Amino acid sequence: MKKKYLLVKRISLAALLLLALLYSMRHAIWTLEQRAWVYSITDYISYKYACGFHGCASSAPIASRFVAHAGGSVDGKTYTNSLQALDRNYALGHRVFELDFDLTSDQKLVAIHGWEQAELYGFPEGNQPTLHEFMTAKRSDGLTQMDKDVLLKWLVAHPDASIVTDVKSDNLQVLNLLEAGTPWVTKRIIPQIYSFSEYPKVKALGFERVIYTNYVKRYPLSMVFNFAKSAKLSAVTLPDRLQTSIESQGIPIFFHTINDCAQVHAFIKEKNAYGFYTDHIAEDWCGLGK
């Protein structure tokens, strides 16, 4: 038993030393490709160290093949993250909705693509209002903005719907705010994470389904898929600008943002896509089923 303990201790120490070495290397490497590799390795080691040898709990699957992007389009508008977008696209048959979230100046969560949209609410561009200011503002497009309370009331009224998060500021802070006082949301909210090391922290909050999205870190795909399979993620989401073909990885791959059925079928054939974030696709679901 003592020998086993010493072996585990030495392995842990070696891993920490390797992690420290790689972190120090990140500042000495200049090409984006090299830097992405080093960041992905250090992030992966952090994830493994947090989850241990047996890994974190696996994530449940996502049945839907189409995710309504920013709630889906409404009145020809996209990126609205509005109550009307949810209502319209639910009526069309969507059951999984991606929403963007950011923090107000008093650190409350609201659904917005970012404060570059502040003028839509009557504030100067880039202005970060308080929650009260945001929720009492009149949108120039006539739609209804959402905070946590509005979103949770909608979820209660639509028990078969789920929300995928896309957080524009502090991901873990927003997820903590979503879960706080309402633990039932961990079954209905599907967090997107942006680094491997976020996974154990998000699972510790109780979220049953988790997606890794690669548009922020842009890690090498081989590292992304190794992590996804090791962590048993619900899915991986990749940007539509990805040029390379992808072999089957044994894990659902979503792409964003796709609004053309010909592109849907091309991505299924060439990139082994399972699902798509979309503004407009509904009704016939490109012949795939929703």
Give the domain CATH number at 113.
3.20.20.190
Whether residue 106 is found in the same domain as residue 190: yes
Beta carbons within 10 angstroms of residue 284's beta carbon: 11
* Position 138 in a domain: yes
**Residues 6 or more apart whose Cβ sits within 8 Å of residue 175:** 165, 167, 189, 191, 202, 205, 207
Looking up tokens 């009557």 gives: 122
User: Taking 70 as the threshold, does the pLDDT of residue 4 lie above it?
Assistant: no
Q: Is the pLDDT of residue 23 over 60?
A: no
Residue 22 domain flag:
yes
Confidence (pLDDT) at 58: 80
Could you give the C-alpha distances from 19 to 38, 198, 253, in angstroms and in order?
A: 10, 16, 29
* 12, part of any domain: yes
Q: What whole-number distance in Å separates Cα of residue 151 and Cα of residue 144? A: 11
Token pair 């030495």 in the structure block, residue: 10
Distances (CA, A) of 7 to 3, 13, 54, 55: 6, 10, 17, 19
Question: Quick one: pLDDT at residue 13?
Answer: 63
Could you give the percent of the chain with pLDDT greater than 90? 71
Contact, 207 vs 188, CB < 8 A? Answer: no
Quote the domain boundaries for residue 47.
Answer: 2-51
* Number of C-beta neighbours around residue 86 at 10 A: 28
Q: Does pLDDT of 221 surpass 60?
A: yes
In a domain, 262, yes or no: no
Q: Do residues 177 and 108 share a domain?
A: yes
* Domain shared by 38 and 166, yes or no: no
Query: Is 81 in the same domain as 182?
Result: yes
Residue 270 located in a structural domain: no
In a domain, 118, yes or no: yes
Residue 44 falls within a domain, yes or no? yes
Please state, in angstroms and rounded to a whole number, the distance separating the CA atoms of residues 60 and 209. 5
What is the arithmetic mean of pLDDT over 79-88? 98
Kindly state the tokens that stand for 156: 């209660």
The number of folded domains in the chain is 2
Q: What percent of the chain has pLDDT over 70?
A: 84
Residues 108 and 142 in one domain: yes
- 80 and 131 co-located in one domain: yes
- Whether residue 168 sits in one domain with residue 120: yes
pLDDT value at 15 more than 90: no
CA dihedral 182, 216, 29, 44 (to 10 degrees): 40
Q: How far apart are CA 240 and CA 64, in angstroms?
A: 19
Residues 6+ apart with CB under 8 A from 194: 171, 212, 213, 216, 217
CA distances from 212 to 69, 191, 209, 285 (A): 16, 8, 10, 24
**Does residue 118 share a domain with residue 28?**
no
At residue 225's C-alpha, the angle toward residues 221 and 226, to 5°, is 115
Q: How many CB atoms lie within 10 A of CB 172?
A: 14
The pair of structure tokens assigned to 240 is: 């539509």
* Residue 257 confidence (pLDDT): 97
Measured distance CA(63)–CA(258) in Å, rounded: 18
Q: Report if residue 256 sits inside a domain.
A: no
- pLDDT given for residue 289 in this prediction: 78
Q: Are residues 13 and 101 in the same domain?
A: no
Contact between 121 and 110 under an 8 Å Cβ cutoff? The reply is no
In this structure, the answer to whether residues 8 and 102 fall within a common structural domain is no
In this predicted structure, the answer to whether residue 5 has a pLDDT above a threshold of 60 is no
C-alpha pair distances (Å), 268 with each of 57, 231, 285: 29, 24, 14
Statement to judge: residues 134 and 194 lie in one domain: yes
Q: What share of the chain is helix, strand, coil (3-state, %, to 5)?
A: 45, 15, 40
The separation between the first and the last C-alpha atoms of the chain, rounded to the nearest angstrom, is 54
The pLDDT-based confidence of 199 (bands split at 50, 70, 90) is: very high
Place of tokens 């894990």: 251
Same domain, 46 and 96: no
